[in-house]
């Protein structure tokens, strides 16, 4: 990525804000101040002050009545942090024996401390992976990110087979449950029964059956094998 020249050096707080706005906006849509406050567990006045500061630095722009979105410079920095975070998660799982439910908080701390040289050596050691352990795409060094649109497990019709590609949660208890249930990226599942009124979903994984609640199933994103 080409370096962004700023009047002030980037702080951990600035990096966290930009990364949070990237996640909230799915890269391109505006994020509201209240959403940012909830995401970062901060007060709305505190967020408003930082948003003004980042706007003055050319990292954010206001969208009238909708919130803020990243400028090209802000997006560049956000994607740099996302790349660091996801590569660190992949390295911790691939080389240091971490489980996928324990790497998020560790990566949150390390992403601000490691150098670009170390991050790229991690990428080389891993064989330049495209995805982290949760199936999230890893941005390239030039800021390209392959954001595929997948179908939540809740929207897969009965008797259709799909491959799990991504798990949209970092909550350790949910990740542990999904792993115990055999629901990880790369696994093929067939929807056997969808109970009405946001009820549970019965899946077939190989020769076994597994039941998963509706809320958690929404966070399991799949590539459909035979869409109807």
Residues 16 and 98 in one domain: yes
The total number of structural domains in the chain stands at 2
Q: How much is the pLDDT for 26? A: 77
Residues 117 and 37 in one domain: yes
Closest CA to 86 of 38, 128, 117: 128
pLDDT at 4 over 60: no
Q: How much is the pLDDT for 27? A: 56
pLDDT in tens, 58-80: 999 988 888 999 999 999 999 99
- What does each C-alpha distance from 120 to 42, 47, 124, 127, 166 come to in angstroms? 32, 32, 6, 10, 23
Token look-up 């370096």 returns: 3
Q: How much is the pLDDT for 192? A: 96
Q: What is the rounded distance in angstroms from the CA atom of residue 109 to the CA atom of residue 89?
A: 11
Residues 102 and 142 in one domain: yes
Residues 193 and 167 in one domain: yes
Structural domain span for residue 49? 1-147
Among the listed ranges 1-5, 61-65, 146-150, 170-174, which one has the minimum average pLDDT value?
1-5
* Last-in-domain residue among 132, 147, 162: 147
pLDDT in tens, 110-140: 999 999 999 999 999 999 999 999 999 999 9
Report the pLDDT averaged over residues 18-32.
Answer: 88
Q: Would you place residue 8 in the very low, low, confident or very high pLDDT band (cuts 50, 70, 90)?
A: low
Q: How much is the pLDDT for 225? A: 81
* Last-in-domain residue among 147, 169, 202: 147
Report the pLDDT averaged over residues 44-60.
Answer: 95
Mean pLDDT, rounded, of the chain: 92
Contact by Cβ (8 Å): 189, 161:
yes
* Last-in-domain residue among 147, 180, 203: 147
């Amino acid at each position: 990525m080409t370096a962004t020249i700023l009047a002030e050096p980037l702080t951990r707080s600035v990096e966290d804000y930009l990364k949070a706005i990237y996640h909230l906006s799915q890269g391109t849509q505006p994020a509201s101040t209240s959403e940012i406050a909830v995401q970062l567990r901060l007060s709305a006045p505190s967020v408003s002050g930082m948003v003004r500061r980042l706007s003055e630095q050319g990292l954010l722009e206001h969208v009238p009545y909708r919130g803020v979105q990243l400028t090209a410079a802000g997006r560049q920095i956000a994607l740099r942090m996302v790349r660091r975070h996801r590569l660190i998660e992949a390295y911790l799982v691939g080389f240091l024996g971490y489980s996928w439910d324990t790497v998020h908080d560790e990566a949150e701390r390390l992403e601000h401390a490691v150098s670009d040289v170390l991050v790229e050596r991690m990428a080389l050691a891993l064989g330049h992976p495209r995805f982290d352990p949760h199936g999230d795409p890893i941005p390239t060094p030039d800021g390209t990110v392959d954001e595929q649109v997948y179908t939540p497990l809740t929207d897969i019709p009965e008797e259709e087979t799909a491959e799990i590609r991504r798990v949209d949660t970092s909550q350790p208890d949910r990740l542990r449950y999904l792993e115990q249930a055999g629901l990880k990226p790369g696994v093929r599942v067939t929807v056997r029964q969808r109970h009405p009124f946001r009820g549970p979903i019965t899946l077939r994984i190989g020769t076994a059956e597994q039941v998963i609640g509706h809320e958690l199933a929404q966070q399991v994103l799949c590539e459909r094998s035979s869409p109807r």
